[in-house]
Amino acid sequence: MLGFLLARQAGLDDPLRLRRAESTRRVLGLELNKDRDVERIHGNGINTLDIEPIEARYMLSGGSDGVIVLYDLENSSRQPYYTCKAVCSVGRNHPDVHKYSVETVQWYPHDTGMFTSSSFDKTLKVWDTNTLQTADVFSFEETVYSHHMSPVATKHCLVAVGTRGPKVQLCDLKSGSCSHILQVMFAGHRQEILAVSWSPRCEYVLATASADSRVKLWDVRRASGCLITVDQHNGKKSQAVESANTAHNGKVNGLCFTSDGLHLLTVGTDNRMRLWNSSNGENTLELYSGSRDCNILAWVPSLSEPVPDDDETTTKSQLNPAFEDAWSSSDEEG
């Protein structure tokens, strides 16, 4: 690290390289918290976790046994060593419990009074946290792999759902119906949708990852739908024809946006993680070693402040024309 600091002081290194080195050092130095434990409720593997964004106090977990558990992460005992207790759970004896493995749980982004869960039993359930009863249930023809609610949406209440089929379905929490299907001939996915994620920068932009090795960005307002299909080769001809316009050399298991929405991180069964420019789909060529069994990503904010929307370094020529409109304030002005 001293070498990085000296090189930066002498002006020999880009500041971004120093930031990445420090981020990497901190990540590699992570270890399990020896002072805190979590009460064990699940009888089998845990597939998904989500901490509510309001107070960062309550955590949901969903297991392969179909059970959902709500934990209180606060140290109410005031002791240096403590165990986070389960507040309540949707156990096997609950009338609304999922029949099969729970694949995704997510808090409602603006209120802890509601959360959602999806399962291999082909359902997406909306839960009332206070009563622990289902407020709504969406049923699908295919197995559900993933779902996501926008963290910034103010004009819609859509939940994107990825299923075993090549279609992304949008469920409207207001009307209680599956309002739209993102499947465009020649532009849609060819295999199951393994992960979905809304952009934190524009409430109408959705990213999808599929077993067909492709990652796509969509504008759900547009009839044409698909904005970008990212390409690991950045448009250059690849040696293998089948790898053209693909994000990974294998299934794409997970994806998430950075906190500022400017980049997209993906992970695949090719044991690689890649970072993409979300405005034009360009591969930044930042390559990380991943894991074949990894299918969940969560972005850890960078050490520096996010780039503001009006940053002078972000010019219109760098943005996809569709994003210039989607990410402007014109919607609010109209």
And the tokens for 135? 């407020």
Q: Strand 272-277 and strand 283-289: pairing?
A: antiparallel
Q: What is the average per-residue pLDDT within 236-261? A: 82
Task: Name the band, by pLDDT with cuts 50, 70 and 90, for residue 224.
Answer: confident
pLDDT at residue 238 in the model: 58
The pTM (predicted TM-score) of the whole model is 0.78
**294, pLDDT greater than 50:** yes
Q: Say if 269 falls within a structural domain.
A: yes
- Bridging pattern class, strands 144-149 and 158-163: antiparallel
Closest by Cα among 174, 131, 165, 171 to 145: 165
* Strand order through the sheet with 102-107: 102-107, 114-119, 123-128, 133-139
Q: How many domains does the chain have?
A: 1
- Measure the CA–CA gap between 291 and 293, rounded to whole angstroms: 5
198 domain-assigned: yes
Give percent above pLDDT 70 in the chain.
79
User: Taking the alpha carbons of 288, 291, 296, 300 in that order, is the dihedral positive or negative?
Assistant: negative
Cross-strand bridge partners of residue 102: 119
Residue 233 covered by a domain: yes
Q: How far apart are CA 169 and CA 166, in angstroms?
A: 10
The answer to whether 244 and 238 have CB atoms below 8 angstroms apart is: yes
pLDDT digits (tens, 9 = 90+) for 28-40: 888 888 888 999 9
Q: What CA–CA distances, in Å, run from 258 to 63, 145, 241, 255, 313?
A: 26, 22, 30, 10, 18
* Domain containing residue 179: CATH number: 2.130.10.10
- The Cα 38–Cα 68 span in angstroms is 14
Q: Is residue 267 a part of any domain in this protein? A: yes
- At residue 330, does pLDDT exceed 60? no
In angstroms, the CA 257 to CA 260 distance is: 8
- Residue 11 tokens read as 């002006």
Round to the nearest angstrom and report the end-to-end CA distance of the chain: 50
pLDDT digits (tens, 9 = 90+) for 317-327: 444 444 443 33
3-state DSSP assignment of residue 90? strand
Residue carrying the six token digits 């930066």: 8
Residue 282, domain member (yes or no): yes
Pairing status of strand 36-38 against strand 82-90: parallel
Residue 174 lies in a domain: yes
Residue 81 lies in a domain: no
Question: Looking at the predicted structure, is the pLDDT value of residue 59 above 80?
Answer: yes
Tokens 């250059």 appear where? Answer: 236
Does 57 map to a domain?
no
What would the two tokens of residue 280 be? 């034009």
pLDDT of res. 63: 96
Domain residue limits at 234? 140-292
**Tokens 């694949």 belong to which residue?**
103
